[in-house]
Structure 1
Amino acid sequence: HALGSGVIVNSDGYIVTNNHVIAHASDIEVLLSDKRTFKGKVVGADPQTDVAVIKVQGRDLPTASLGDSSNLRVGDTVMAFGEPFGLGFTVTRGSVSALSRSLYDPNKFESFVQTDAAINPGNSGGPLVNVRGQVVGINTAIVPGQGPGGESSFLGIGFAIPSNMVKHVMGDLVKSGKVTRGYLGVKIGPLDDKLARQFHVPDTAGALIDSVTPGGPGDKAGLKPGDVVRKADGQTIEDSSQLQTLVIDTNPGTPVTLDILRDGKPMTVRVTLGERPADLAATVVPGRQSEGALRGVTVQNLTPALRDQLGIPSSVSGVVISDLDSNSPAAQAGLQQGDVIESINRHPVESVAAFNRLAAEAKGETLLQVNRGGEGQFVVISPGGGEQGGDDESQ
């Protein structure tokens, strides 16, 4: 048995919720706030965004409209609707704490609205609503504390899928049962101060194109490595995550106008988006540190295929070094691509998210437990020089 929330978005009975709420359900029962119950049928689901659509047959169904999440600003008042802990219909109020947040899951597209409106187990799939009564997000995740019966509870950090992403996914699921996404055919990353100086960009806003896929939409339009995307269809691009979200939320075949800087000179490029390949990872290298003792180390989760390839025993858990800056302290200490980091300062590293958190705290000498080809060893990393980098994403 599982409990979640949802929102009826049109009078035909279509309900948006989270994929993780209905993923293993054999039967779905929908209870409205007016106590009516209906049998629900899954229309489609998209695990990469955690969005699902179900349908009920009913009359005089109350509906909520999907707003434009691109209009959200940090500090806006929002309300979270749902049924936390099975207690019944509940509304909590808070603010938009941040935008374009990621939890660093390489298998998902993440550009969350962060809020301090209380979200607890049972709220998943429910709406995040602005003061005009428009749904601007679908509540999906929290940073957990400890609640009744050992369940996770709210600590003031909750996340919602932005409504513009929901609109695109829902539209495709209702139309065809599957989701198609736009594809630019470039690999992008963030700008830091050093990269901005190298490419003659006045600040660190924008998305840096690291490489261009030959024959892809970006290549055909004339994009080149080193171009910095500053605007897309007139919308300012603050970082690479924002550009990724805009591209995947746009239908293939749609023309997009990009304002770029090339060696500091402004240019306009018009690209017709292709269809994103199904086997392209949501985030190629999600865990790269730009400062501290582990700067320049990029990791990914240890999958069964990588475990077999690298000869790592089943008893070992950790993250795999997928890229390593040759000037980084870790490289100078002898770490290599393919090494598995089991722990940082004696704290286990079980995921990319755990690596990001622990690595961010590693400022001084840092003790790593590393496994290479099935053999474990301890390595001490001393902070030193080295260039700084960031996350890359394929579009």
Structure 2
Amino acid sequence: MKRLKNGIIQAAIAAGIMATAASFTPAAAEQITLSQLSNDLATVTEQARSVVVNISTSRTIKTPRLPFSSDPFFRRFFGDPGAQARPKATSLGSGVIVSQDGYIVTCNHVIESADDILVKTSDNREYKARVVGTDAKTDIAVLKIEEKNLPAAAFGDSEKLRAGEIVLAMGNPYGLNHTVTMGIISGLKRSGMGMTEYEDFIQIDAPINPGNSGGALLNSSGELIGINDFIFSTSGGSQGIGFAIPAKMVRTIMDSMLTKGKVVRGYMGVSIQPLTADLVRQFNLTDKNGALLVDITEGGPAEKAGLQVGDVITEYDNRKIESMQELKNWVASTPPGKKVPVKISRDGKTLSKTVIMGELAGQPLTAEPAAAASPAAPAAKSVENNLKGVAVRDVTDDILQKLGVKRKLRGVVITSITEDSPALGTLERGDIIIELNRKPVQSTSDFTQISSTIGKNQDILLLIVRGGASQYLTVSTR
């Protein structure tokens, strides 16, 4: 699909201004502007129809094997259950043709677990599609149909989008082919939705409904700026809050699949967490922009570059970091082997480091939180501060195994917290404390010694391991 040479909305507005300047009445100028806008929207829609496809899938539902089904006596009376037709589940979605030789992008959840995938184009031709690659971490999938000289979408620059821009969403909701709706960009860089691991969604108010997933999000020039993914809804239908995967992320994942046969992601060897107002105070920062390092992989790129637990990364590859998720996305999209300049805040000072990126290998290990805690131990020496009522014992290999922690570490594990403890509700039984106020805790004696120096109304910063993952917490009197 060729890009329109001029933005349709800008052209429509310009037409209205010129009409007014030529001594038309305001009413006449408004009519010309709306007429031009209508014509231009129709032109974009006509062009986009040819690149948006209908995707229908089917999968066999696995049914439990009947008892005695292999018994000859059973078969004599009931026949062979295996010979019966197995039920199939079907679903509908959308996709976008992105190359003339038949590559199509869609959402992973549209084709997940499908046995058969059928693609129907705007001229009603049908093709069996094969899966080139899927990526559940971004909900992106690439399909291939065997055809040549197909119309293909032109990618727009999703990095330059602004809230308020007019967009068109096209797909096949409820099987209604090539439905187009219009709206605006309501927000950018939406994350924390819990839908995928790497989130950088475009929020739109253009109505999208079941079946729109995988369809095209277009800008005013008819360029592909996103792939429609999901909606927030209490009714199951559109309520004006929809989300699309930005075109840059789509193209990066697609290109990796096609050129390398897999999704290649950068690797820094760190665990990070977002900054809260309490953490900003504890680390003497000026704002919540950045990402706090809570764990560093031994021998990984970050450790080799000199980064430390407790550092706050404020810039990555000469770009300021606004959120933890933003850093996570940038790291993933960085080619392995690239030398990346980073700026960190450490003890009130700004330092510059260079990280040589590695390659993320497979699914990161994530331990499930364990309910079992270590045997009860005598309460620690009584303190009159926010750790009052917190009892701990030394961490052992047996305790690490019970808590599902798959790495060696030293510290103390919380065995109990009294009902009147200020830490109740922040700390939990089974948490492993490895730092107190930026000082290492490797034993109960360390814990007792450090905690005894903390004042009654002093906020306390702890580095803990919970459910196998490190994180900073503050116990505050506020």
2:17 counterpart residue number: none
In the alignment, which residue of structure 2 is the partner of 1:63? 152
The reply on whether 1:214 has 2:298 as its aligned counterpart is yes
Instruction: Give the share of equivalent positions with the same residue, in percent.
Output: 44
Determine the structure 2 residue equivalent to 1:265: 349
C-alpha displacement of 1:393? 9.1
Q: TM-score, normalised by structure 1?
A: 0.68
- Whether the 8 Å CA contact 1:255–1:270 is kept in 2: the answer is yes
Q: How many residues align?
A: 303
2:334 aligned with 1:244, yes or no?
A: no
Name the residue aligned to 1:348: none
Amino acid at match of 2:207: A
Q: Could you say which residue in structure 1 is the equivalent of 2:425?
A: 330
In the other structure, the counterpart of 1:366 is none
Larger radius of gyration: 2
Preserved contact between residue 100 and residue 242 of structure 1 (Cα < 8 Å)? no
**Following the alignment from structure 1 to structure 2, what is the Cα–Cα distance between the partners of residues 158 and 327?**
41
Unaligned runs of 5+ in 1: 147-151, 286-308, 311-323, 339-384
Runs of 4+ in 1 over 6 A off after TM superposition: 282-285, 385-394
Any conservation in 2 of the 1:102–1:111 contact (CA below 8 Å)? Answer: no
Whole-angstrom distance in 2 between the partners of 1:156 and 1:168: 28
The amino acid of 1:125's aligned partner reads G
Output the amino acid matched with 2:359. E
The 3 A distance-change label for structure 1 pair 259 and 85 is same
| Pairwise CA distance, 1:329 | 4.2
Q: 8 Å contact 2:294–2:470 — kept in the other structure?
A: no
Shift of 1:54: 0.5
Cα deviation for residue 389 of structure 1 reads 10
Question: Which structure has the higher relative contact order (CA within 8 Å, separation 6+)?
Answer: 1
CA distance in 2 between partners of 1:124 and 1:140 (Å): 5
Conserved 8 A contact 1:164-1:249: no
Q: Is 1:104 equivalent to 2:194 in the alignment?
A: yes
After TM superposition, list the pairs within 5 Å mapping 1:1-395 onto structure 2.
1-98=90-187, 99-105=189-195, 108-146=197-235, 152-280=236-364, 327-330=422-425, 336-337=429-430
- What is the alpha-carbon distance in structure 2 between the residues aligned to residue 282 and residue 163 of structure 1? 30
Amino acid at match of 2:225: V
Seen in structure 2, the aligned counterparts of structure 1 residues 393 and 37 have a Cα distance that, compared at 3 Å, is farther
Amino acid at match of 1:103: M
2-structure distance, mates of 1:20, 1:233: 32
Name the CA distance, whole Å, in 2 between partners of 1:283 and 1:32. Answer: 45
Cα distance between partner residues in 2 of 1:184 and 1:219: 9
Distance 2:246 2:337 in 1: 23
Please state how far the C-alpha of 1:169 moved relative to its aligned partner.
1.5
Distance 1:222 1:388, change over 3 A: closer
Q: Contact between 2:209 and 2:237, CA under 8 Å: does it hold in 1?
A: yes
Greater fraction helix:
2
Structure 1 position 113, deviation (Å): 2.1
Once the two structures are TM-superposed, the CA of residue 246 in structure 1 deviates from its matched residue by 0.8
Classify 1:169/1:328 alpha carbon distance in 2 versus 1 (closer, same or farther; 3 Å). farther
Contact kept? 1:80, 1:139, Cα under 8 Å: yes
Question: How far apart are the structure 1 equivalents of 2:157 and 2:367?
Answer: 25
SS in 1 for 2:148: coil
- C-alpha offsets along residues 276-313 of structure 1, whole Å, 9 cap, x if unaligned? 1313169999xxxxxxxxxxxxxxxxxxxxxxx89xxx
**CA 1:81/1:248 → structure 2, altered by over 3 Å: closer, same or farther?**
same
Deviations 1:7-31 (A, max 9, x none): 1112221100011111232222222
Q: How far apart, in 2, do the equivalents of 1:237 and 1:93 lie?
A: 32
Residues 186, 213 of structure 1: 8 Å contact kept? yes
From the superposition, tell whether residues 388 and 136 of structure 1 become closer, same or farther in structure 2 (CA, over 3 Å). farther
Matched to 2:425, the amino acid is A
* Distance 1:32-1:225 versus aligned 2 partners, 3 A rule: same
Shift of 1:188: 1.1
Deviations 1:125-168 (A, max 9, x none): 1122222333222111111333xxxxx21122212222222122
Residues 156 and 250 (structure 1 numbering): CA distance in 2 closer, same or farther, change over 3 Å?
same
Change (3 A) 1:38 1:264: same
Whole-angstrom CA distance in 2 between matches of 1:330 and 1:197: 20
- Find the aligned partners of 1:30 and 1:254 in 2 and give their Cα distance: 39
Runs of 5+ unmatched residues, structure 2 = 1-89, 370-401, 404-416, 432-457, 472-478
Residue identity matched to 1:255:
K
TM-score with structure 2 length normalisation?
Answer: 0.57
Of 8-17 and 229-238, the range deviating more from structure 2: 229-238
